[in-house]
Structure 1
Amino acid sequence: MTIRGLRWWIVVLVFLAAVLNYIDRQTLSALAPTIQADLGMDDRDYANIVNLFLVAYTVAYLISGKLVDRLGTRSGTAIFVVWWSLANIVTAWAQGLRSMGACRFLLGLGEAGVWPAASKAVSEWFPARERALAIGLYTMGATIGATVAPYLVIPLATYDYAGKLPFIEGLFGHGAGWRVAFVITGLAGILWLIPWFALYRRPRESKLISAGELALIEDGEAPTEAGEKGWTWRQVLTFRPVWLLLFGRLLTDPVWYFYQFWFAKYLNTGRGLDQGSLTITWVVYAAAGVGSLVGGWGSGVLVKNGCAPVQARLWIMLGCACLMPVSPFIAKAAGLSVTMTLTVCAVFAALAWLINISAIVVDVVPKHSIGTVFSVVAAGSTLGGIAMNMIVAAMVSGPSSKPAGFLDQGFKALFGPLIGAVEGKGYEPWFLAMAFLHPLALLLLWAGGIHRLRPAKI
């Protein structure tokens, strides 16, 4: 028996993994005001917990890509999903800053792995002209997960357990609502493993793929064999595009991280929205999902019309960079509706950019080393996210009366004058900075010759 369009069913599974990944990640963000109040954490504590997640994420990126290349997409992905699901469940028993930070660190170790695994799945199952769209589809899963998260976890957190389900209140104690949210969202990942193991194989190893679809996937490329030797670390680190793409993501991914981790808090403190009203953030994530699809579709159309893959991605990225200067007006808008409209434009552009810079990796790296190279490039993303967290925390909190942690000390040693200049200034300087990050990254990529790259020889 064969399944028609099996590659699209594969990307649907990756899409669902991304949905679960972001629901688990955004549970803390969506419930931040409630959790901070219950556990006695201020905004700097919140930033430090997010940074612990991102530190683990960075470390895991560097390891997970190589692990996926060695174990294969099927086994590697399953390991990461199980890890982060269990870490999310354990978070339900966090009692303070340290235990919450430890749980988020464990979550970060698991969650990073799905992205190099997803890029490897796309390289195995899709021809060049469909790759950006496939990446857009599974990335849209992340945005849908972030969209769904508030609607799922806020009702769970605010439910009257003491009155209607007292045994739950007795099991979890104080803060039973948000603790239940972590358990339920974590269990969903375990269930996802069932269809994954049933469907996923490499195309030539699958009994469910038709001969016509296999020919379409390979589309003139020499198929790689399981166990084929990948690049060494020296080969990876001396491949110039790795560094160009790493710095490109370091500069631009902090924009998306800001909307994931801080925008709900901005609406809460800067615009006066209460916990229940923060469900309005679904608009942001819907825009991100549309940006993911349109960005992938747009470059795919250019490739079908004869444009070289890398050049096609760069044309879309240029359009995105031209949209980002709307960012400073988000904080200055008088009404919430104008703020959200401008935010939609900025997030749409940021995600369309992200899809295409990710697709460049798949375009120019041999399939046997996709996971490793993607993970190194993506490490730049999390480093940028950590820097953003430190800067934004200083902006919104002002000077801290608490002893500085190791991340604060290290960051101040490198960027002390910058922190001093923005400390206590609120969110507006960050919205201004976001106007320039994508244009600057595009100039860097162009100056580095990224536009002259050609598809990798398999």
Structure 2
Amino acid sequence: MSNSNETGAKMSNYRWVICGMLFLATAATYMDRQVLSLTYKDFIAPELGWNDDNYGLITGVFSLAYAISMLFIGKFIDKVGTRRGYLCAFGTWVVGATLHAFTSILTNGIVDGTWLFSFEATREHLAAIRTTGNVALAVSTVSVWLFLCMRVVVAIGESGNFPSAVKITAEYFPKKDRGFATGLFNAGAQIGALVAPFIIPGIARALGWEMAFIVMSGFGLLWMIAFYKVYDKPRDSKHVNKAELEYIEQDSIAEHTATNDNNDGPKIGLWKCFTFRQTWAVIFGRFLPDGVWWFFLFWAPAYVKDVYGYSSDSTMGIMLIFTLYLISMLSLYGSYLPTIFVEKRGMDPYKGRMKAMLIFSFFPLIGLFAQSAGSVSCWFPIIMIGIIGAAHQSWSANVYSVVSDMFPKSAVATVTGIGGMVGGIGSFLFNYCSGILFTYSEESNMLFLGFEGKNAGYMIVFIVASLAYLFSWCMMKIMVPKYKLVEV
């Protein structure tokens, strides 16, 4: 029997151990995304002959596959349970991440018919055969399509992270703490991106870019083993005592809905979720903001290289990317803001969350001045992007919490999946269109607001990114003007 039914003099704090596991999972998935962005310009593109169109297509298709998977993965997790669902998703991600390492070997075999089962030998052979235009085009085309297939596998696996994590947060934290807890595990995104510049380029330079993907898949495998050992629902966990269980379930106790079993409430069908205005509030909260975040995640190293000339493995390049994500860590303070509004001001969770999100939506407006400030120093746009990143992560943590505030636990992963699907579609459009825009702006030497070439392209992207959050907040407020629980 679980120790959750035993009276303890002091409340246990096992919920924070679980939150720590969610943090590590999020950090791992975001480090994986950084593997591609940090190796694209300086390692993969020269070897396989990629351009910005190719990269935009790859990142865009990843986002689209992620989006489609999110529509179904949440329902899958709600159906099979968090433990099995999370492990299946992470296992898929580990397999996909490992497969990336064999792109060059497969490309070499398909194009030239020569199978060399050594990363270094394959790299040398590809360099030798890419002397004619036709072969170079074949290498580029085949490698892009192989990468697309592998990114789809990774996208399917990674899509399970946030629906599982948000559902576990709803299981282990009362509503007033969920924004902060979500902000903590969501900070794994920044930590993963923060650590990656110091690790990934070094591995790629010393051992080849393929080993960077293998190292990440190894970390994912270790996480799966740890999660299997530490996770149980609060009522089943031997580490959660009676005092902590009562704290976790305080909302159900207050609403007289507490049960003595693990029933998560009435089931809601996938398509039924689209009939609720609360679902549409989440959709508007994710579509544009997710596109902004994923753009900076995928393109920041390329931006530093294209505009300022610093490679991802140079000291200056590493410090610029590190600084960007270090500043974005300010979101830890932002994610706590709704808790202050709820506890100090007596607001309901939704009102407190929306007030905080309105504040967050004003910070990205500084992006309108990023390109101009870059003419003074490359540090200014990096700092501004970091602030936008902090605002986004604070925003994102609270959009996730909106779901658990207004839906029964049985539907949390499903609605989170719907939001993730829409965010993935927004990210696909943002990344794919950006790749096309950058190639066009460079080839046509485009002029826009006094900027020329790729700088003009980046200026257009900064304008869209800066206005995205304020527009999204207005749409959320129109959909759900005040706090309203979903009634089934």
1:293-332 residue pairs with structure 2 within 5 A? Answer: 293-305=332-344, 306-332=346-372
1:181 matched to 2:218: no
Deviation at residue 198 of structure 1 after TM alignment? 1.4
The one of the two structures with greater contact order (alpha-carbon pairs below 8 A, sep at least 6) is: 2
Question: Which of the pair has more CA radius of gyration?
Answer: 2
Deviation at residue 216 of structure 1 after TM alignment? 0.2
Contact 1:87–1:103 (CA under 8 A) maintained in structure 2: yes
What residue number does 1:398 align with? Answer: 440
Q: Could you list the per-position Cα deviations for residues 162-212 of structure 1 after superposition, in whole angstroms to 9, with x for gaps in the alignment?
A: xxxxxxxxxxxxxxx100111111111111122211111111111221100
Q: Please give the alpha-carbon distance, in whole angstroms, between the structure 1 residues aligned to 2:390 and 2:402.
A: 19
What residue number does 2:325 align with? Answer: 285
Contact 1:139–1:289 (CA under 8 A) maintained in structure 2: no
Q: Please give the alpha-carbon distance, in whole angstroms, between the structure 2 residues aligned to 1:400 and 1:189.
A: 38
What residue number does 1:209 align with? Answer: 240
Q: Please give the alpha-carbon distance, in whole angstroms, between the structure 2 residues aligned to 1:351 and 1:445.
A: 17
Deviation at residue 74 of structure 1 after TM alignment? 1.2
Deviation at residue 227 of structure 1 after TM alignment? 7.5
1:372-387 residue pairs with structure 2 within 5 A? Answer: 372-387=414-429
Q: Please give the alpha-carbon distance, in whole angstroms, between the structure 2 residues aligned to 1:438 and 1:189.
A: 32
What residue number does 1:219 align with? Answer: 250
What residue number does 2:47 align with? Answer: 38
Deviation at residue 332 of structure 1 after TM alignment? 1.3
Query: Tell me, what secondary structure is at the counterpart of 1:238?
Result: coil
Deviation at residue 340 of structure 1 after TM alignment? 2.0
The farther-off stretch of 338-347 and 97-106 is 338-347
Contact 2:281–2:477 (CA under 8 A) maintained in structure 1: no
Contact 1:314–1:451 (CA under 8 A) maintained in structure 2: no
What residue number does 2:107 align with? Answer: none
Contact 2:175–2:251 (CA under 8 A) maintained in structure 1: no
Letter of the 2:483 counterpart: L
Letter of the 1:89 counterpart: T
Which residue of the other structure, out of 307, 312, 330, is the alignment partner of 1:275?
312
Query: Tell me, what secondary structure is at the counterpart of 2:149?
Result: helix
Q: Please give the alpha-carbon distance, in whole angstroms, between the structure 2 residues aligned to 1:14 and 1:75.
A: 15
Letter of the 2:229 counterpart: A
1:193 matched to 2:193: no
Q: Please give the alpha-carbon distance, in whole angstroms, between the structure 2 residues aligned to 1:392 and 1:276.
A: 24
Q: Please give the alpha-carbon distance, in whole angstroms, between the structure 2 residues aligned to 1:153 and 1:344.
A: 20
Name structure 2 gaps, 5 residues minimum: 5-10, 105-142, 253-257, 444-451
Name structure 1 gaps, 5 residues minimum: 162-176, 402-421
Q: Please give the alpha-carbon distance, in whole angstroms, between the structure 1 residues aligned to 2:442 and 2:190.
A: 33
Q: Please give the alpha-carbon distance, in whole angstroms, between the structure 2 residues aligned to 1:239 and 1:457.
A: 9
Which residue of the other structure, out of 329, 334, 346, is the alignment partner of 2:388?
346
Deviation at residue 290 of structure 1 after TM alignment? 2.3
What residue number does 1:262 align with? Answer: 299
Deviation at residue 454 of structure 1 after TM alignment? 2.7
Letter of the 1:211 counterpart: K
Aligned-pair identity (%): 27
Deviation at residue 42 of structure 1 after TM alignment? 0.7
Letter of the 1:446 counterpart: K
TM-score normalised according to structure 1 size: 0.87
Deviation at residue 399 of structure 1 after TM alignment? 7.9
Deviation at residue 307 of structure 1 after TM alignment? 1.1
1:249 matched to 2:289: no
Which residue of the other structure, out of 72, 77, 99, is the alignment partner of 2:86?
77
Deviation at residue 228 of structure 1 after TM alignment? 5.6
Contact 1:363–1:456 (CA under 8 A) maintained in structure 2: no
Give the 3 Å change call, closer, same or farther, for CA 195–27 of structure 1 in structure 2: same
What residue number does 2:110 align with? Answer: none
1:453 matched to 2:461: no
1:435 matched to 2:466: yes
What residue number does 1:92 align with? Answer: 101
Deviation at residue 423 of structure 1 after TM alignment? 9.7
Contact 2:175–2:405 (CA under 8 A) maintained in structure 1: yes
Q: Please give the alpha-carbon distance, in whole angstroms, between the structure 2 residues aligned to 1:74 and 1:283.
A: 35
Q: Please give the alpha-carbon distance, in whole angstroms, between the structure 2 residues aligned to 1:132 and 1:16.
A: 18
Equivalenced residue count is 420
Q: Please give the alpha-carbon distance, in whole angstroms, between the structure 2 residues aligned to 1:308 and 1:217.
A: 18
Q: Please give the alpha-carbon distance, in whole angstroms, between the structure 2 residues aligned to 1:434 and 1:100.
A: 27
What residue number does 1:140 align with? Answer: 187
1:10 matched to 2:40: no
Deviation at residue 229 of structure 1 after TM alignment? 4.9
Q: Please give the alpha-carbon distance, in whole angstroms, between the structure 1 residues aligned to 2:298 and 2:276.
A: 32
Q: Could you list the per-position Cα deviations for residues 6-52 of structure 1 after superposition, in whole angstroms to 9, with x for gaps in the alignment?
A: 00000000111111111112100111111111111111001111112
Contact 1:64–1:112 (CA under 8 A) maintained in structure 2: yes
In angstroms, what is the RMSD of aligned CA positions? Answer: 2.0
